Amino acid sequence: MAEKAALLPPAPGVYLLSGSDGTVLYVGKAVDLRARVRGYFQGADTRPRIGLLLRDVHDLAFIVTASEQEALILENTLIKEHQPRCNVLLKDDKSFWSLVLDRTHAFPALRRVRSHELAPATASVGCSYFGPYASGRALKETLAGLQRLVPLRTCKDGEFSRRSRPCLQHQLGLCLAPCCGLIDAAAYAALVDRAVLFLRGRGGELAGLLEAEMQAAADDLAFEKAAGLRDRLAFLETTLRKQAVFTHRGRDLDVTGYVREGDLHLFCFLCYREGRLAEKQVLRVKSAVLEQDEVIESVLYQFYQRRELPARLLVPDGFPPLETLAAALGQRSAIAIVRPSRGQLAAMLAMADRNALEELRSRDPAAPEIALERLARALHLPGPLRRIEGFDVSNLGGTDFVASRVTFLDGKPAPEEYRHYAITESGEPNDVAMLASVVRRRLVRGVAEGELPDLLLLDGGRGHLSAVVALVRELGLEQRFGLAALAKDRGPGTGERLFLPGRKNPLRLRVGSPELALVVRCRDEAHRFALAYQRKRRGKRSLHSILDEVPGIGPTLRKRILEAFPELASLRNPSDLAAIRGLSRKTAAAVIEFLSRFQAPEPGG
């Protein structure tokens, strides 16, 4: 790969890193392709996140572009096409709604669409689009308010062309029935312009128009019309008061708040229209591979690619240079990126940063992603810890040795991934050796199938950890995943000690912390699963021995009974066994009698 990287041209462009199966793992851009990509493979970059990225890379491809601006646009296109796991991917699916107004129709209607259905050039083909809206509820509230102010039609085009009589919406005063010729195209176009003012956040202008029209109606003695306009104006003023966070007299602008905690990047966008806060959008992005500057540029480009661009975008002074981003976005509409250091704009930026920080603090501390982030930091692992596997060995009275493996995916149990192991090794019982044997089976299989955990958690102490560390070294799997052993404190109380490779003293996670709760839950789940399997095996063996003691039951009849009734405890009456070929009534009664003795509760139980 290093030789291939050295052959790249020293030109701007995009590079794609792929895995052994051809899946694109990462898409990046560079001003100098050769310098950027060669740095990855020459070992100069020793950051853990780069090792995490490169460990699965088997192929490299590139595309040369004319400029860094073109590289940014192409990078985003390829990210959407390939959905690489190491890139930042903003949510761009069914969760977001937008509104589209098709101005090519003589009597346009607003229609709701999913954001992913919108083309970036929608506005250039005779359509206006608004949003996206963070929820369906926000969209419904907007439409309900708009219809009270500006009664545009809501029917589909096909229904509009077929209708000959006004619908119920007209009777309720929510539509002016253009389908039946009750309003001409010019008057309807004026309504459309007012709807656009409302949706663009320019409610003050709309209020002025309504007030002037109301006064004109009163002057003409059209008091009923004036009363209707008065009610609409009152509703609009109430709506505007709810949004009354005034800023300044000027062009529309968005303010970007930003805070980072580990691999989590949180963006808070405060969107001001006509001097009022019209919208707040919060984005949470996780990346263990990308540098902070790469995350910021990628998020801003994806966020604004399908939104109405403000005239100005305020960003913190710590953001990277964004001239390329401004040029790429500016192909649709001019946008100025400003870094205020004083005055009112700086105060607005501080408020956005505070909102971002409060959003971070308001996250549920028990949320799995928080526990995973903090655990990765505590163990000095690059993260993310998407797959954690817990191992335990169990026995009762020195017999029936079994082991279990439980799997947590993204911090949550994945029972379909659980496995249990029957341990048949001869010799003196040794749970350390047994645990190492089971882990060996798992790792050998994992190497063959190309799936290893991000963290392997043992139920045990330093001895268990040392045995597995030696095994990992023997298999040549150092640095491929994290390893830890969790043991209860020797002294009084319920403390926990976490043993780590290369560390003399155990790590003690803070009591009550989400990271401690996660590892304890994983350990306890492994213990529960092993114990359940051990009891199941012991119960089956006990029931087998009961059948062996029943007179008249040989190997053939025993097999037939167990095939028909795997759970012997469910048998209650001799008639239950009537269908067993070769089993007499007398023998059936003997089976039930023996089972009843075995299942009878102890006195006082």
Sorting pLDDT into bands at 50, 70 and 90, what band is 39? confident
Which of residues 545 and 113 earns the better pLDDT score?
113
Which of residues 215 and 427 earns the better pLDDT score?
215
Percent of the chain with pLDDT over 70: 82
Mean pLDDT of the chain: 81
Sorting pLDDT into bands at 50, 70 and 90, what band is 603? very low
Instruction: Please give the DSSP secondary-structure letter assigned to residue 479.
Output: T
Of 94-108, 115-129, 299-313, 542-556, which range is least confident? Answer: 115-129
Of 16-20, 244-248, 273-277, which range is least confident? Answer: 244-248
What local confidence, expressed as pLDDT, does residue 138 receive? 61
What local confidence, expressed as pLDDT, does residue 245 receive? 45
What is residue 249's three-state secondary structure?
Answer: coil
Residue-by-residue DSSP string for 102-117: ETTSSS--EEEEEGGG
**CB under 8 Å to 37, separation ≥6 — which residues?**
5, 8, 15, 30, 60, 62
Give bridge partners of residue 27 from the DSSP assignment: 16
What local confidence, expressed as pLDDT, does residue 604 receive? 39
What local confidence, expressed as pLDDT, does residue 427 receive? 60
Cα angle 145, 151, 155 (rounded to 5 degrees) comes to: 105
pLDDT surpassing 80 at residue 508: yes
What local confidence, expressed as pLDDT, does residue 542 receive? 54
- For residue range 155-199, list pLDDT tens digits in order: 888 888 888 888 878 887 788 899 998 999 999 998 888 888 877
Rounded Cα–Cα distance for residues 45 and 289 (Å)? 13
Domains located in the chain, CATH noted: 2-82 (3.40.1440.10), 97-201 (no CATH), 253-361 (3.30.420.10), 372-528 (3.30.420.340), 550-599 (1.10.150)
Rounded Cα–Cα distance for residues 50 and 42 (Å)? 12
Q: CB of 483 within 8 A of CB of 466?
A: no
φ, ψ for residue 97, nearest 5 deg: -105, 150
List the structure tokens of 314.
């305020």
- For residue range 456-503, list pLDDT tens digits in order: 999 999 999 999 999 999 988 888 899 999 998 765 555 789 999 999
What local confidence, expressed as pLDDT, does residue 600 receive? 46
CA 445 to chain centre: 29
237: exposed, middle or buried (Cβ count in 10 Å: 0-12, 13-18, 19+): middle
Q: Rounded to 5, what percent of the chain is helix, strand, coil?
A: 45, 20, 35
Sorting pLDDT into bands at 50, 70 and 90, what band is 399? low
Q: CB of 280 within 8 A of CB of 270?
A: yes
Which of residues 185 and 225 earns the better pLDDT score?
185
Residue bearing tokens 């990628």: 298
pLDDT surpassing 90 at residue 398: no
Which of residues 309 and 499 earns the better pLDDT score?
499
What local confidence, expressed as pLDDT, does residue 247 receive? 47
Residue 346 vs residues 286, 314, 339, 360: alpha-carbon distances, Å: 27, 9, 8, 21
What local confidence, expressed as pLDDT, does residue 52 receive? 67
Strand segments (E) across 323-475 = 336-338, 387-396, 399-409, 412-413, 419-422, 455-459
What local confidence, expressed as pLDDT, does residue 538 receive? 65
Which of residues 79 and 142 earns the better pLDDT score?
79
Identify residue 127 by its one-letter amino acid code: C
pLDDT surpassing 90 at residue 512: no
Q: CB of 382 within 8 A of CB of 367?
A: no
What local confidence, expressed as pLDDT, does residue 569 receive? 66
- For residue range 284-295, list pLDDT tens digits in order: 888 877 889 999
Mean pLDDT to the nearest integer, 243-262: 72
- For residue range 330-340, list pLDDT tens digits in order: 887 789 999 99
pLDDT surpassing 90 at residue 280: no
Q: What is the model's pTM? A: 0.44
Mean pLDDT to the nearest integer, 491-517: 83
pLDDT surpassing 90 at residue 596: no
- Round the CA-based radius of gyration of the chain to a whole number and report it: 34
What local confidence, expressed as pLDDT, does residue 243 receive? 47
Which of residues 240 and 161 earns the better pLDDT score?
161
Give bridge partners of residue 114 from the DSSP assignment: 97
Which of residues 504 and 495 earns the better pLDDT score?
504
Rounded Cα–Cα distance for residues 221 and 63 (Å)? 70
What is residue 172's three-state secondary structure?
Answer: coil
pLDDT surpassing 90 at residue 315: yes
Sorting pLDDT into bands at 50, 70 and 90, what band is 520? very high
- For residue range 370-379, list pLDDT tens digits in order: 788 889 989 9
CA 97 to chain centre: 18
Mean pLDDT to the nearest integer, 517-527: 92
Residue bearing tokens 């100069």: 44
pLDDT surpassing 90 at residue 530: no
Give bridge partners of residue 254 from the DSSP assignment: 271, 313
CB atoms within 10 A of CB 424: 6
Mean pLDDT comparison of 395-399, 421-425, 440-444, highest-scoring range: 440-444
Rounded Cα–Cα distance for residues 72 and 193 (Å)? 35
Residue-by-residue DSSP string for 467-506: HHHHHHHHTT-TTSSEEEEEEE-SSSS--EEEE-TT-SSP
Q: CB of 455 within 8 A of CB of 390?
A: no
What local confidence, expressed as pLDDT, does residue 573 receive? 79
